[in-house]
């Protein structure tokens, strides 16, 4: 039997109203599926297969493929927008369970860890030092 990795998480369904609705989500990676494919199953019945690379890219910057748009929302969450026959569904998901899931899928597949993460699966540190605009002048040739 091929290994299957599942991670349970909570998402928030974003609606036109002032409140969001919590929705359970199951992240699933089955090594017998197409390589690099992960499945997300939401409590309302929505299920979507997408590339693990798309999910990883969406943690760092906006990404889009096959009716799925993903982009970071601050430092700790991401937005997942699913376009389908029933319309558009927008979910907000914490990064922690996603990073843990991705780390486990890479460990199972024996692949390198996601770009932009440390071995712990946490996002790599990004400098927040202000850019003062100071630049080192180019070296000049002496005559």
Report the alpha-carbon distance of residue 102 to residue 120 in Å, rounded.
11
Residue-level pLDDT, tens digit, the chain, 143 residues: 678 999 999 999 998 888 889 999 999 999 888 889 999 999 988 899 999 999 999 999 999 999 999 999 999 999 999 998 888 999 999 999 999 999 999 998 775 545 555 544 445 444 344 444 444 444 445 44
- Helix residue ranges per DSSP H, 61-94: none
Three-state SS for 95?
helix
**Confidence (pTM):** 0.73
Between CA 77 and CA 80 the distance in angstroms is 10
| CA dist., res. 135 & res. 23, Å (int) | 49
């Amino acid at each position: 039997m091929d290994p299957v990795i599942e991670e349970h998480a909570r998402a928030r369904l974003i609606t036109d109203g002032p409140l969001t609705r919590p929705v359970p989500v199951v992240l699933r990676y089955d090594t017998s599926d197409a390589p690099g494919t992960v499945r997300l199953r939401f409590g309302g019945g929505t299920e979507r297969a997408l590339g693990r690379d798309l999910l990883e890219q969406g943690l760092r910057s906006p990404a889009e493929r096959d009716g799925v748009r993903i982009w970071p929302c601050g430092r700790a969450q991401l937005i997942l927008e699913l376009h389908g026959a029933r319309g558009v569904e927008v979910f907000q998901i914490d990064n922690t369970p996603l990073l843990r899931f991705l780390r486990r899928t890479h460990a199972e597949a024996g692949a390198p860890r996601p770009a932009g993460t440390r071995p712990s699966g946490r996002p790599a540190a990004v400098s927040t030092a202000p850019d003062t605009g100071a630049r080192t002048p180019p070296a000049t040739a002496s005559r």
